[in-house]
Chain A
Amino acid sequence: MLPYPLLSLSLLIMWLALNGFTFGQLIVGGIVSVVASWAMASMRPSKPRLRGWYLLPKLVWIVLYDIVRSNAAVVWILLGGHREKRHSGFVAIPLELRDPTGLAVLAVIITSTPGTAWMEYNSGGGTVLIHVFDLVDEDGWVDLIKNRYEKLLVEIFE
């Protein structure tokens, strides 16, 4: 009946928060959250294990800080307009992270940080191809992704 009780509960709470706490919305939200959890179960996702959940606030803080910083950096480049000197390019990064949830979080981090974009992940070799807007030092980017984000994600999810 309820394959993902936590998911259903949080969906129901979200539904009520968005639509108002009335009895009618409780019924509709209840139906929606149960059906959604069935849909989720039919996709057979891997069960994420949050081994190092206490590290999540640290990760969120690092990511928020980096988003603000790289927003400023990209605005600076766009305003400065020295397009001739700037060089953008691809960087292939070998990853140790294999957990699907961890990889999804890494994709969100890399994409939501302006200046870097997640292109494609090769699950055979475990490498990810990213595109960097202002590419000065390729090894620097590999080092940044691996040490700043991946290390934390491995600790959290594996």
Chain B
Amino acid sequence: MSTIEHAAELPAWAALVVSVFLVLGSGLVLMGMLGFVRLSTFYERIHAPTLGTSWGTGSIVIASMVFFSVLSTRPVVHEILIGIFVTVTTPVTLMLLARAALHRDRSEGNPEVPEDSPAEMPAEESGEPAGRA
């Protein structure tokens, strides 16, 4: 609470470092958002927000660590946990979305999507692609 009120006491070098990382991080998130809007297909779109979940998060997290470490004169490492959790949980969401999109495109017979691999052909031949874990 009181830490924010003391932001003016931040030395100039630290303020500079924090600003650089904040601008870099939020710039990457903005770029990802723009790409998300501009790109045309689902599979291209999933790449743009990755900027925000990788180095975008990393940058903002570093800025936060520097800010609070300098102000409270002790190392603050909570942010590392945030970074780890964001990184580890992103693939879960991505796989859910990707598999749903692949399933829809395959059942619609979209030619741009690769066929299911041969190892799974028996399930496909029986007419029901269900039962995949």
Contacts and interface: CB of A to CB of B under 8 A. Distances in A.
Nearest to A131: B43
Interface in B28-52: 28, 31, 34-35, 38-40, 43-44, 46-48, 50-51
Interface string A67-82: 1100100110011000
A111 B50 contact: yes
Interface in A107-122: 107-108, 110-120, 122
Nearest to A121: B95
Given A18-B78, A71-B55, A117-B94, A108 B47 contact: no
B90 A111 contact: yes
A127 interface: yes
Task: Label chain B's interface by main secondary structure.
Answer: helix
Contact of A111 (B34, B77, B91): B91
Contacts of B40: 83
A120 B44 CA distance: 16
Interface residues of A, number: 36
Nearest to A72: B55
Contacts of B119: 122, 124-125, 127
Contacts of B95: 107, 118-120
A117 B99 CA distance: 12
Interface in A1-20: 14, 17-18
A92 interface: yes
A26 interface: no
Interface string B94-114: 110011001000000000011
Contacts of B44: 88, 133
Given A83-B39, A127-B117, A129-B114, 10 more contacts: A90-B43, A112-B50, A112-B91, A117-B43, A120-B95, A120-B99, A122-B119, A124-B117, A125-B119, A131-B47
Interface of A: 14, 17-18, 67-68, 71, 74-75, 78-79, 83, 88, 90, 92, 104, 107-108, 110-120, 122-125, 127, 129, 131, 133
